């Protein structure tokens, strides 16, 4: 065999291995999107608010639950990210937190009416596992892509994730329609099973490219992790663009988290949507989100991540603003489709932009910082939303407004805060340097 033929065979084998690792990585997004769709968006959030707690207090307690999980993940993510970078253990930590999320998602099966404490505890632990695992899953993006393809690979992963959410919702849709709300607890068992099954290819087929570092004699893993974090903070001036991006992301992601965590509650409270309506609504969001993730991933590779995020945020701002002018479920569906299209694009490109701004030897560590910003958003956003909604509800009640109308008016005030965070975050993004494969970040 000639050298040319040998090279062609090797290139073909490398290309085959690359495709296999990428699809294995995509499948994890397929699995964990079942959690996002069933637990966060369509089923458990509304179930907890209406059946487990009931009334406006359910919105407040849901916000607290999301926020507590966010605080814990924000504290541990940078430390674990630094450990993952120098020990080559992104997959190991991904596995640990995935199992935590799967177990406690399954335990949501036992949450019933009045079980507020267990409902909050099991959800918080499932959410910690889900969010922490996302740090290491995102950090594997650089192991399955190139600088020229990172936007598309991230977008395709997000699109496959949207399909996973659709599949999960369709699986529970028919039983809920035929059996009724009594089937809802079983939806959480199905979610846990899908999450576990579709995470397996990632653990088997994705390989971490960077070699692990030698730990100096006399130093432990934790000590070295804090040392590396300290080194990063000491050289923080070198990462000005990343810091500016993190501030922007923290703020616009507040708006995104509010919208995701309270979409089901908004639909049920303002437009009288029942559980079936909500599931169909989330399916439509996922369908449009699939196309949005692919399109904005392409825009990111051809133009820049910055431009892709700004365009997606403009569409999202217009969509959320539309909630003040509609009164029917049909228009809520339309706005949901537009919001899902742009929201998925913003989230898919946001994670690829981190890889473009981070030094090669600090990928997981920087994703840890992204997680801090993201989890701060996950805490601050829902806390702001639930507090505004709850306080304004009480204010309207004290003015003599009936409780149902007061709750609806309180939600509209809270929706206004979503628009505020999205606009401010987008304006700050204009200050971040434009990064692309042709004009990469240099340190």
Among residues 144, 135, 21, 155, the alpha carbon closest in space to that of 84 is found at 135
Per the listing, tokens 């479920």 go with 329
What is residue 4's predicted lDDT score, i.e. its pLDDT?
47
Cβ contact 385:73 at 8 Å: no
Q: What is the pLDDT of residues 319-348, one digit of tens each?
A: 999 999 988 888 999 999 999 899 888 888
CA 395 to chain centre: 33
**The tokens of 55 are what?**
């009334």
CA 27/CA 79 separation, integer angstroms: 27
Which residue ranges make up each domain of the chain?
Answer: 18-200+221-429
What is residue 348's predicted lDDT score, i.e. its pLDDT?
83
- Of the CA atoms within 13 Å of residue 38, those in its CB half-sphere come to 38
Give the number of residues written for the chain.
443
Could you say which DSSP state residue 148 is in? T
Looking at domain 18-200+221-429, its CATH architecture is Up-down Bundle (1.20)
CA 422/CA 15 separation, integer angstroms: 40
- DSSP per position, 158-184: HHHHHHHHHHHHHHHHHHHHHH-GGGH
Q: Which parts of the chain sit beneath pLDDT 50?
A: 4, 7-11, 14
Q: Which residues of 132-157 are buried (b: 16+ CB within 10 A; e: fewer)?
A: bbbbbbbbbbbbbbeeebbbbbbbbb
Q: What is the pLDDT of residues 125-143, one digit of tens each?
A: 999 999 889 888 888 887 8
Among residues 166, 133, 126, 132, the alpha carbon closest in space to that of 45 is found at 126
């Amino acid at each position: 065999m000639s050298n040319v033929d040998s090279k062609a065979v090797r290139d073909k084998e490398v290309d085959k291995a690359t495709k296999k690792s990428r699809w294995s990585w995509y499948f994890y997004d397929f699995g964990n999107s079942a959690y996002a769709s069933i637990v966060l968006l369509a089923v458990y959030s509304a179930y907890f608010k209406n059946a487990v707690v009931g009334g406006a207090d359910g919105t407040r307690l849901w916000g607290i639950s999301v926020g507590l999980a966010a605080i814990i993940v924000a504290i541990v993510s940078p430390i674990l990210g630094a450990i993952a970078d120098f020990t080559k253990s992104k997959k190991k930590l991904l596995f640990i937190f995935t199992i935590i999320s799967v177990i406690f998602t399954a335990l949501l099966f036992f949450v019933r009416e009045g079980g507020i404490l267990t409902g909050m505890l099991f959800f918080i632990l499932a959410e910690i596992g889900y969010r922490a695992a996302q740090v290491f899953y995102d950090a594997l993006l650089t192991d399955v892509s190139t600088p020229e393809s990172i936007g598309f690979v991230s977008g395709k992963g997000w699109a496959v994730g949207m399909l996973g959410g659709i599949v999960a919702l369709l699986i529970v849709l028919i039983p809920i329609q035929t059996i009724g709300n009594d089937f809802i607890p079983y939806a959480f068992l199905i979610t846990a099973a899908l999450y576990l099954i579709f995470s397996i290819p990632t653990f088997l087929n994705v390989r971490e490219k960077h070699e692990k570092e030698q730990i100096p004699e006399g130093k432990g893993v934790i000590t070295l992790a804090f040392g590396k974090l300290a080194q990063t903070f000491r050289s923080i001036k070198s990462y000005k663009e990343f810091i500016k991006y993190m501030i922007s992301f923290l703020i616009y992601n507040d708006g995104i988290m509010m919208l995701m965590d309270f979409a089901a509650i908004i639909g049920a409270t303002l437009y009288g949507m029942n559980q079936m309506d909500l599931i169909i609504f989330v399916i439509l969001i996922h369908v449009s989100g699939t196309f949005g993730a692919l399109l904005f991933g392409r825009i990111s590779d051809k133009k820049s991540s910055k431009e892709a995020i700004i365009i997606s945020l403009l569409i999202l701002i217009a969509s959320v603003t539309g909630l003040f002018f509609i009164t029917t479920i049909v228009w809520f569906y339309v706005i949901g489709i537009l919001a899902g299209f742009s929201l998925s694009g913003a989230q898919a490109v946001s994670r690829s932009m981190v890889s473009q701004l981070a030094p090669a030897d600090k990928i997981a560590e920087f994703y840890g910082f992204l997680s801090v910003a993201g989890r701060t958003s996950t805490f601050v956003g829902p806390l702001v939303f639930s507090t505004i909604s709850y306080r304004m509800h009480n204010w309207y009640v004290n003015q003599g407004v009936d409780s149902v109308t007061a709750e609806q008016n309180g939600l509209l005030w809270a929706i206004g805060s979503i628009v505020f965070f999205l606009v401010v975050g987008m304006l700050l993004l204009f200050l971040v340097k434009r990064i692309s494969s042709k004009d990469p970040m240099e340190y």
